[in-house]
Amino acid sequence: MVQECGTERIAGCQFNLSVMSDDFAEVILGALDQVDTSKVWKETDDVSTCVRGRIEHVFDVVQGIYLEAAKTGKHVEMSGTFSIGCPGDSSGDAYVEASPERLNAPSKDIQQKAGCKFALYPMNTTNYMDVIYEQIDLSKEAGVTVSPAHYATRLDGTVPDIFSAMESSFTKVQEAVSHTTMTFTISANSPSNS
Ligand SMILES: Cc1ncc(C[n+]2csc(CCO)c2C)c(N)n1
């Protein structure tokens, strides 16, 4: 197979939700159903969900799904990988042409707290540690508490502030390093915090 970049840069996220409750299936399927995904390509199977499209819509949808699940008050965790510029992910899809307005922007009064660990992987660049440290420093201005963790950086704050910090890191890094991936795990309503 010939792998080459498409003319548009399509971003994506492969993620799964885990709900620590007997009715996990309803919470997962309900969250997937309640978010407007019309500006992204989406596929769900028994393991995870993948969304692809413009960076802002990928983050908008992933955050929207997480907020829907977290507002049940149940202990919900989401883990995933964002990626852009993967040589095998040539576009061909109409979703990169979507207009930039977000469809699921959270209201300003959302105070849902969460803890998150994220890790940036700028691919195929020798100065990757500089690129990563620059973003960790910028995260400190994003309204979240930033702390070091093994193999990751921890962000604590509201869900919208956490996703916004991750989106700005990812967006800035991919401007400099065309193939960039980022992993994350976010947890809310954990009984460890009560
Ligand atoms: C975001 C997300 N997408 C898919 C799954 C996989 N999954 C596990 S249980 C379940 C509902 C019943 O089939 C589904 C779809 C997940 N965990 N999170």
What would the pLDDT profile of 113-140 be if each residue is shown by its tens digit?
A: 999 999 999 999 899 899 899 998 888 8
- Whether residue 2 is predicted with pLDDT greater than 90 in this model: the reply is no
The answer to whether position 6 is within a domain reads no
Relative to the CA of 47, which ligand 1 atom is closest?
Answer: 6
Q: Look at ligand 1, atom 12, and give the residue with the nearest C-alpha.
A: 25
* pTM of the complete model: 0.93
Q: How far is the CA of 82 from the centre of ligand 1 (A)?
A: 18
Query: Structural domain of residue 80, as residue ranges?
Result: 11-90+111-193
List pLDDT tens digits, range 30-88. Answer: 999 999 999 999 999 999 999 999 999 999 999 999 999 999 999 999 999 999 998 87
Which long-range contacts does 147-156 make (Cβ < 8 Å, 24+ apart)?
149/117, 151/119, 152/117, 152/118, 152/119, 152/183, 153/117, 153/118, 153/119, 154/115, 154/116, 154/117, 155/115, 155/116, 155/117, 155/118, 156/113, 156/114, 156/115, 156/116
- What is the arithmetic mean of pLDDT over 88-110? 86
Q: Look at ligand 1, atom 15, and give the residue with the nearest C-alpha.
A: 46
Q: Look at ligand 1, atom 7, and give the residue with the nearest C-alpha.
A: 46
Q: For the chain, how many structural domains are there in total?
A: 1
The answer to whether position 100 is within a domain reads no
Q: CA–CA separation, 76 vs 31, rounded Å?
A: 11
Determine the pLDDT at residue 1: 44
Please report which confidence band the pLDDT of residue 94 belongs to, taking 50, 70 and 90 as the band edges. confident
The answer to whether position 179 is within a domain reads yes
Ligand-binding annotation for 49, yes or no, is yes
What are the pocket residues of ligand 1 if the criterion is a CB atom closer than 6 Å to any ligand atom? 15-17, 25, 28-29, 44, 46-49
The answer to whether position 102 is within a domain reads no
Ligand-binding annotation for 29, yes or no, is no
CATH value at residue 30 = 3.30.70.930
Determine the pLDDT at residue 6: 47
